[in-house]
Amino acid sequence: MTSDNCEMKRRSGRQKILDFFFFPLRAVTLFHEDCWGLSCLASERFDYVAREVRGYCLDVGCGRHNRFLREYRGGDGHGIDVFAYEGLGMENIVPDLTHLPFADATFGSVTFIANLNHCPEPDRDAELRESWRVLKPGGNIILTMGHPVAEILVHKLVWVYDKVCNTNYDMDNERGMHEDEDYYLLDREILDRLGRAGFEKVRKKHFLTQWGLNHLFVGWKPGMPPK
């Protein structure tokens, strides 16, 4: 069921061409809302992920205003986070992501958008197993991760920008990085963890409009999806 009447955003083919050619400008300027006729990196990431979602979606680490589900899924899902970011209510706050407050087989998709690396390292397998539990048979998990060099540079650039301009764009700085978090995860670790959690047929897809410096993984829970 869709929880609101938001129109789901989608990039046109023309928009993708513009985003591709102007990727260096978008990466360096680090704008956090679409402007100048270009997509910001976050919007672009949401667009790629939304195209992989199948049905009612759980967005883990939804961040400020639960933006992915509101704007790119028309509200069709439930966003959760461990931190009370602006625009989130009590229904969005789940302090322990290794024990999700949802019944088995509730969601068609589970998303980790640029944040599995921020799950404490000892909890990552447990969080992915919980994602597998709350997925319907035939449902999928979608997670994104940037190239290690790109992830480090972007985090450092945003940190400097926030300090110099007295802004608060970086949600990681707002919440605070913990000892067991990382700025990125290598593909091998992601694939191994998804496999241990029970996901099958895992595929990797590059973000072409970010020149392959960002990508997503899609893995599936065995079983036939409901008709």
CATH number, domain with residue 209: 3.40.50.150
pLDDT at residue 46 is higher than 90: yes
Q: Are the C-beta atoms of 57 and 76 separated by less than 8 Å?
A: yes
- Give the count of domains, the chain: 1
Question: Which pLDDT value is given to residue 7?
Answer: 59
Confidence of residue 32 (pLDDT cuts 50, 70, 90): confident
Structural domain span for residue 144: 45-220
Least confident residue range of 37-51, 61-75, 111-125, 152-166:
152-166
Q: Which two tokens stand for residue 170?
A: 């970086």
CA atoms within 13 A on the CB side of 4: 14
Q: Given CA atoms 180, 219, 193, 91 in this order, what sign does their dihedral have?
A: positive
Structural domain contains residue 72: yes
Question: What b/e readout covers 50-69, taking b as 16+ CB neighbours within 10 angstroms?
Answer: bebbbbbbbbbbbbeebbbb
**Residues 173-226: tens digit of each pLDDT:** 556 667 788 888 999 999 999 999 999 999 999 999 999 999 999 999 998 765
Is residue 192 included in any domain, yes or no? yes
